[in-house]
Structure 1
Amino acid sequence: MDAALVLDMPTLVMARVVSIVVFAIGVPIMTLRKDRPETAVFCWSLLMAILSWITVIAAVFTRNLYVVALYAGCISATVSLQWAAIVIMTGRKVHSAWFVVPPVGVAVVIMALRVPSPEAAILSCIVLSLQLAAASAFVMVCGRQVVRPSTAVLMALGYAFSFCSAISRPLEVLFSGRVDLYALSGDASNTLPFFASYIGTTLIILSWLAALKDRAEARLALLAFRDELTGLANRRALHEQGRKLWSQSRWQGTVFTLVALDLDFFKKVNDRWGHEEGDRVLAAFGDTIMRSLPAPEIAARMGGEEFCLIYAGADARTVHDFVEQLRDDFAHRLQLPDGSAVRFSAGVAQSAPDDDGIRSVYRRADNALYQAKASGRDCAIIGSALAA
């Protein structure tokens, strides 16, 4: 068994250093962009990984205290930077203490206490094991919120393999009494941790590329289903999400209420003050809708100054009150250059037992909207089921 695991470790170490260098060059070329700070941080972690291998090789041959401390700090900083990149990707705030204290702390302790090389290696592995375990847990809990579950599992698995590699050194001391900084011999005690670390590093980098792909696809989906000016859903998103919500409401037996609304005399705003002012009005209206309470299940811009809101679980009378509150909120939130408020007309329609889909409800809401306009605008009218 041991004979089969006797490998040319120096060659493998060299191959691994070369592979990390290739990743460190390739990842920035493929993924680095100014609007992705997490990628820049991850690329720094790859450079730190290269420095870690350079210092560990130097530490093996020199056993110099300061070189050993530098290696311990670099390998800990590699994980710290990767974890920081993941935190940034999830949209959370990076607390510097979590990412600065481990690498700086372990290096300072080794130098201040003049810890011998073998004990310094164990201390470094313990700190690294804690970081890797925490990173793996964080990815599984928080990573799945921003990337596909399969990507999060792959990344967590990479940190788990790396954890097994790091914890093997303290366990080796605990059960066999042996300890070495990072031996280059090819026996089983070095080969298995090496391969675990190699697999872990490869999975982490591959999963990171997959995470960036997931994020890119999410951005494309956002562009495809989101109105850029108002931040609301667009017509395509309304049709797709609306059908799902309609089916869900039918299955659960809950009421489904739709609002079709139109900003009053919006063309005059563009004609008098220009399209820039019109865009400001549309953006402010979208923001007001998103801030409204209770928020609609779906809020979409249909085109121009036309909007559609969908509420699930609220009847037409209740939604009518919501719309009136939205009218007041918007009037207080935005004023035109002459000090006047922008008002809107709305039609409200509630689902009926004989409706065959969301289009039936929308037609009634649209008919009610025309009634509101014919009644002088600046009002909301509840449509009748007979109006379909």
Structure 2
Amino acid sequence: MGDEVSLTGVVEMTVRAEPLVQLIRNYTNALRFVVHEVLRKPSEYGRWRYIKRSKRIKWEHDLRRIHHGFYEVLKCRFNLTPKFAIGCEREASMIAKSVINNENNGENRCVIKSYRARCDYQSYSVKFEGDKCYLRLQGLGEFEVNGFNKKWLDKYKDWRFGDLIMKLRGTVVKLYVTLKKVVGIANPSEKAVAVDLNFEEVVIGNHEFEARFRTPLRKIIHLKKNHIEKTQKKYNRKWGYVKGIRNAISRWWKRINGITNDFVKQVSRRIVLFAKERGYDTIVLEDLNGLKDEQAKLKKTWRERFAFFAYRKLQNWIEWQAKKEGLAVVYVNPANTSKTCPKCKSLNTEFRERILICKNCGFTMNRDSVAVINLVNRWLSILRCAV
């Protein structure tokens, strides 16, 4: 094993408690107040510093000044407990810093719309008694959690608690419990499998085996064209001003986002388990850093496919799951991996739909299968050069 890295997971729960609703409202109002005051007098609550690397003047907050200026006000005026008051000061200072140092925001405007509150791991605890779950907040008491998934008890049983984020959704309080775990980064080896991404399928494999997973891209584009775009065309002039129409469109966008998130989470988990169960300890991914710049040259339909495919999110989840299971992830250049013959290394090929036919040696294979083989071969050649 190599160096260590900290993994972060989030568990969602639900609570119905009036004291928490009032706490979140007070915290958000206090956050708005502190951010507004810091933006109004930044020199009073921080200092300006010249950064040589970027050759720009940046503002840095001073938590000591912010604490002396707002701590008593947050406790008395907004009825915050000491822990939540300190947390509010820290969050407000970070928001103000990002707003002030944002060069595109000339007037230093900041609007905090959603009602939420944050506290660190020392301010709360979660305990279980039978089938019931309880949340204890320092200075506020204990509250029964109405909705939580029992599966996370086993999934995160050896993880430590991080920050707690509470968001207000009507009369319901959504709890987002952050969990952290330090794991070792595995060293990559020759026991590798590769993952090839395309719009229709995600393929994992090498010379010995192969598995394919269908993507939901067609379903997503169908929802966008047949529901969102049709609604916008039907109410061409007023859909942006009528609340009911906006809410309907927003629900469709949430459904699309949910489909994408479910896909990347489930497929990334299955990919890592496929590799681990077969004794492989390295996953080879395509280095797609320059792909975003190339999309601007494409037609609208292709840009739309790239936007909804969420390839970067999928790769990030594969990397997260791999680190969690003790596998290594490496990136290689994917140029011409689906066009190069894996047998004679010739680029003199032709294609029939998704089939590659080599004109030099007659080798025939599916392009996605060719891609995963070439990705693994490219990684093995990098390993041999490093020896």
Band the TM-score falls in, shorter-chain normalisation: under 0.3
Q: Which has the higher contact order (CA 8 A, sep 6+)?
A: 2
TM-score, scaled relative to structure 1: 0.20
Pick the structure with greater CA Rg: 1
In terms of fraction of residues, the more helix-rich structure is: 1
